[in-house]
A and B are shown apart, each in its own frame.
Chain A
Amino acid sequence: MPFSTILGAWIAVFLTLGIFSYLYRDNPFYKIAEHIFVGVSAAYWAATFYWTQIYPNLFGRLFAVDSPFASMYVLDKGHEYNGLYFFPLLLGIMMLLSIFKQINWMARWGIAYTVGIAAGLKTFGYLSSNVISQIKSTAVDLFSGSLPFFAMPGDSIFNNIVIFIGTISALMYFYFSREQSGLYGRFTRLGIYFLMISFGASFGFAVMGRISLLIGRFNDLILFSNPSYNYGTFWMLGLIIVVLGYWSFQNPEIKEG
């Protein structure tokens, strides 16, 4: 096994156990792992963004083979020269100028452009897929008789009734222009129950997701405890327990109240 692979495994174990150590209490191992994660993520994202977007798509168009600047520098990424791309270059530089207090107002132009583009993109997609298509699918079959009344998997009239009543009652709960009392109040309370069931399902799925990620981490820790990885998990676990134990002894936990 190459040394770089073993070193990478030991670092992964150290960072994993460092994050887990927070379950005991906040400690330097956790802080080290957290800072490394944030720093590496930011740097990786910035480098990837530059080399996959800015370098080939922006500079590749401004310094294309047929650009007026070809005599100075050529970047052939298969694009033709397009002078319009100076506009996003300028907006990008203006956004970076926000670090200077006197001219940070310039960043607003870039932000305004980005927000405008995002709003325009989102409006169409959201309206079409999340509103119109969803309203269409709420028009369920209740009366045609072509579906069984009750079926566990698949469509049934009972399922369609539940969808219909749940959708209407939950939507009516969010109509606050009328006091929610009497029969109307009881119907909107039914909507609240549907919402609570939905939130409970979301919570259950969230727990399931976190357990799945824990399984992934444990699988890696088990793998890296093999002799081929020089028992990395055991060495790191021992190191963290010993150092953390000594650190806890030196910095006893102050209990509130």
Chain B
Amino acid sequence: MRFLEDIIVKFGSVDRRVIFVLIGLAVLVPLLNPIDLAIRPTPSSQRVYDAVDSIPDNSKVLISFDYGPSTKPEIHPMTLGVMRHILSQDRGHKIYITCLWPDGLYMAKDALKIINEEYDLVEYEDYVLLGFRPGNEAVVKGLASDLRKVFTVDAAQKSINEIPMMEGVNNLNDFQFIFTGSAGYPGTFEWVQYGADPTGVPLSSGTTSIQVNEVMPYVQSGQLQGILAGMPGAAEYEKLIDTPGIAIQGMAAQSYGHVVIVLFIILGNLAYFITERRERKY
């Protein structure tokens, strides 16, 4: 028993660089040798899927790219999944894209490049890239009251008065669904507070894992129609739309990385209690 306790105490005081290497290997090995793990969609991801599914025909859908390259692994698969879901329905939906983050514009362009290879979209007929405007929540508030004051030109500097798709689009009330891929501020909170709540337009969101706990009260209260929680949320959505992507590929690495972390948390705590008990004893 003492021998076992000594081993546990040794593990508890291992150099943290060893832990870094082990976590790195636990994440890297499944990426190099892909492993299929079962993915079961959670109720919150299912709600997003159902919300997108229930958008009326020929709707205007606003997608906001509120993230940058730093959180691309988590949120990009979500926005791609939602766009694929909207377009695969072939129900005449039009997509309008805004960005509250400056980097979001390039994430949007990257997403459109990928989607265009699959669906052959025509700009100004199937989608409009409105672009980025600084101002955080003031932009959302502006969109809710008068979109044409916030966006006079789109991302390509074309006047929105010359875009046929923008006819009849004056504020958020003219959209039937909003989806935001959000990495922080500005993002989901601002869309709920200044976009969805005042106008009543259904809003769903995909967020980074770290925000999920703070955003979940909005889901529980019905202010958000579901949430895609980080990379697992993106993987669940890919499973629901039956289009495997990079999120599903990353789930094995995610799982094994977590197993290693949990193992070291348990060992660290056991080592702490054993050491404390020994110090009290002596």
Contacts and interface: CB of A to CB of B under 8 A. Distances in A.
A212 B223 contact: no
Contact of B197 (A52, A121, A133, A209): A133
Interface string B166-193: 0000000000000000000000011011
Interface string A192-227: 000000100110011111011111111100100000
B20 A208 contact: no
Contacts of A136: 221
Contacts of A117: 138
Contact of A48 (B132, B209, B221, B222): B132
Residue picked from A53, A128, A215, A219, most chain B C-beta under 10 Å: A215
A134 B217 CA distance: 7
B230 A121 contact: no
A211 B257 contact: yes
Contact of A130 (B31, B137, B193): B193
Q: Which DSSP category, helix, strand, loop or mixed, fits chain A's interface?
A: helix
Interface in A217-244: 217-219, 222
A39 interface: no
B158 to A, nearest CB: 10
Contact of A215 (B31, B152, B223, B261): B31
B269 interface: no
Contact of A121 (B138, B208, B231): B138
A213 B230 CA distance: 10
B18 to A, nearest CB: 11
A37 to B, nearest CB: 10
A108 interface: no
Interface of B: 17, 20, 24, 27-28, 31-32, 43, 70-74, 102, 131-135, 137-138, 141, 152-153, 159, 161, 189-190, 192-194, 197-198, 208-210, 212-213, 217-218, 220-223, 229-232, 246, 250, 253-254, 257-258, 261
Interface of A: 23-24, 44-45, 48-49, 52-53, 56, 77-79, 117, 121-122, 125-126, 128-130, 133-134, 136-137, 153-154, 163, 198, 201-202, 205-209, 211-219, 222
